Structure 1
Amino acid sequence: MPKMSSEAAAPGRRMTLHGPTMGTRWSVSIDVGNAVDLSALQQTLAVAVEQVDQQMSPWKPDSDLARLNRAAVGEWVALPAEMLEVLDCALDVNRLSAGAFDPCVGALVDAWGFGAVRDAPDAQAIRLAREAMPVAAHECIELDGPAGRARKHSPLQLDLCGIAKGYAVDRMALVLQQHGVRHALAALDGELRAVGAQASGKPWAVALERPEAGRRAVHGVIALEDLAVATSGDYRRYLDVEGARLAHTMDPRRRAPVRNMVASVTVLARTCMRADAWATALLVAGADEGLAMAQGMRMDVLYLLRRAERLTEVGLGRFDQSGHNSTNS
């Protein structure tokens, strides 16, 4: 964490704040237009991100998510408003994506070796997790927003890793706005959200990573202004099992790690939470189904597909025409 004085930052400067969270790091780039107390801002950003992790982490036994997972079927569980907001969005994307995004994959994630329980696939655990998967998540979880509670209608295990980081970025954006920051870029892994444009008036330039395991390279650049972007792919977290590479993203309909020609999917949306969830859903859905789904919802989407040992771009909305208006390959 950078050392900050309690003095306000002078206007007209580009500042960067960052800190650890969720096994990675969050960061914020700020063009300071008015005097900003960087020390107070740093602390508030860190608290906001930590709150999301404490509520929604599947790795913390005392998280609100863990409490809900341990609760008996039919038992109402008191939950914070932030987690109810994320659950509501997760169930909405589950319904709209015909199950391609599913927050009920927790047992599958653990069984295949990507969770907190084990670091390799377990055949018996996989069989049990497959049998326990609900047909439709949005029909198996009931939310009561006014009362601040939720309950399960079947014995399921929730996992919000496909949406929680995006929500944490949204929380950072809210903190920035509350502190009077008008020009900033908040980031957490492959999820980013722009607050306004740069102070110069130009959009924020965000690198689109080339989906290659073991190396970091830029595939193109995306321009962001008051917009969020999220990317999901099969190239960062995976397991090598008997010569096969298993991606960490679960395909809830196959009850197994996603396996298709999609190298990565990038989605633009007004909130990073929704961009994050849809990037996961469209990765799982695959190119044909995913593009039809995204087109029907008029989404801005860029697929990078592995075809004949080459990467092929297929884009919609702002990424149409192979992304030439939004990316530089």
Structure 2
Amino acid sequence: MVGHRLRGAFGLLVLFLLTACQPAPPQVRFAHRGLVMGTTFSIKATRLPDGVDAGALRRGLDRVLTEVDATMSTYRQDSPLSRFNRSASTDWQPVPPALAQVVAEALRVSRWSDGAFDITVGPLVNLWGFGPDPRRQEPPSAQAVAAAKARIGHDKLEVRLDPPALRKRIPDLYVDLSGIAKGFAVDQAAGYLESQGISDYMVEIGGEVRLKGQSPRGGPWRIAIEKPVPKVREIEKVLSLTDIALATSGDYRNYFEVGGRRFSHTIDPRTGYPIAHRLVSVTVLRHTTMEADALATAFMVLGPEAGFAKAEAENMAVLFIVKEDDGFVERPTSAFRQFIKGGAS
């Protein structure tokens, strides 16, 4: 069971909801649900191999998910990440291999996106009222933004995989893995299922999804992307998918307004200010959920033009949904179009 403060930590960048189109039918052989990392999880398997006990499988999955949370939570004072954040040392600090692995991937995506994705952005997120600090009723001053911006930067963080360690280049650097850790946890749970001989499954944590094999109905899994409308739970598009990971980032639920101007919870680390473009939702398909998770946030910051151009140039399967004056426009990349053909909307 997780507490309220932990839910706030990892709920910070839960920017969307993805759900299966219909409730699981009776023929699902295994289902497990619960709370972890400040959000919900749902794990389903179409069939279990002979000799695999459902109760033992649930306990094993709980151990895997709890370990990720215990390592990467910023709200658990005893987590290795929290200890690293508290330290003012600029020397190499040993960390668990999993933590080094996730930070290494985060920094790779940061470099790839020219800083649009940045796990050190926490001080800016908090300043704008979207972290654990109280919500704001007005924007912070330019001086406050500049001061917070001086404390962030992916180039101020180093990682070493062997032996695993992290190093700060400034003493007060703060790392928050909310934008990538859920994806990593999904991959870890999927890996555990496969270690038990399970080859037909869906793992979902806070909307990050990994799929393999056949659904209980036979054929691909059917996954719904939510329509990006505040206070409305409607389906935008249904995809038929398997053997792939998926993450969606959205910009339509968490914001505040002052004088008719909306301030998004999605902060551009490069400017220190909330994004102001019309991109409202991004769905990314990749081979690992960890990468899809980070890329979805990166594309939200990059926006509908720069993000689309970058995804298209690298043949990435990404769906951009842009708000126009008369509604929403879907802009799938060429690589994403092949997945639309198999789905229904």
After TM superposition, the score normalised by the length of structure 1 is 0.89
Q: How many percent of aligned residue pairs carry the same amino acid?
A: 38
Extract unaligned runs of 5+ from structure 1.
2-11
**2:46 aligned with 1:27, yes or no?**
no
Which residue identity is paired with 2:322? L
Extract unaligned runs of 5+ from structure 2.
2-26
The answer to which of 77-86 and 269-278 deviates more is 77-86
Counterpart CA distance in 2 for 1:54 and 1:257 is: 30
Map of 1:69 onto structure 2: 85
Per-residue deviation, residues 102-127 of structure 1 (Å, max 9, x unmatched):
11101111111122233336546534
Q: Does structure 1 conserve the Cα–Cα contact (< 8 Å) formed by 2:267 and 2:274?
A: yes
Counterpart CA distance in 1 for 2:78 and 2:287 is: 31
Map of 1:133 onto structure 2: 152
Instruction: Report the alpha carbon displacement of residue 199 of structure 1 after superposing the two structures with TM.
Output: 5.4
Counterpart CA distance in 2 for 1:60 and 1:255 is: 27
Q: CA RMSD in A?
A: 2.2
Per-residue deviation, residues 195-248 of structure 1 (Å, max 9, x unmatched):
222256411111111111112111111122110000001123333455443322
Which of structures 1 and 2 has the larger relative contact order (alpha carbons within 8 angstroms, sep 6+)? 2
Instruction: Report the alpha carbon displacement of residue 63 of structure 1 after superposing the two structures with TM.
Output: 2.2
Map of 1:285 onto structure 2: 302
- Please give the secondary structure, in 1, of the residue aligned with 2:344: coil
Per-residue deviation, residues 151-199 of structure 1 (Å, max 9, x unmatched):
1112422121111111111111011111221111000122100022225
Which residue identity is paired with 1:26? F
Which of 223, 238, 246 lines up with 1:229 in the alignment?
246
Map of 2:255 onto structure 1: 238
Instruction: Report the alpha carbon displacement of residue 142 of structure 1 after superposing the two structures with TM.
Output: 1.8
**2:224 aligned with 1:215, yes or no?**
no
Which of 106, 112, 121 lines up with 1:105 in the alignment?
121
- Counterparts of 1:61-210 in structure 2, within 5 Å, are 61-120=77-136, 122-123=140-141, 125-134=144-153, 137=154, 139-154=155-170, 155-198=172-215, 201-210=218-227
- Please give the secondary structure, in 2, of the residue aligned with 1:250: coil
Going from structure 1 to structure 2, the CA distance change for 1:318 and 1:53 (only over 3 Å counts) comes to same
- Please give the secondary structure, in 2, of the residue aligned with 1:26: strand
Q: Does structure 1 conserve the Cα–Cα contact (< 8 Å) formed by 2:46 and 2:214?
A: no
Counterpart CA distance in 2 for 1:68 and 1:259 is: 33
Which of 292, 298, 304 lines up with 2:321 in the alignment?
304
State the aligned residue count. Answer: 316
Instruction: Report the alpha carbon displacement of residue 256 of structure 1 after superposing the two structures with TM.
Output: 1.7
Q: Does structure 1 conserve the Cα–Cα contact (< 8 Å) formed by 2:316 and 2:336?
A: no
The answer to which of 80-89 and 112-121 deviates more is 112-121
Counterpart CA distance in 2 for 1:230 and 1:113 is: 25
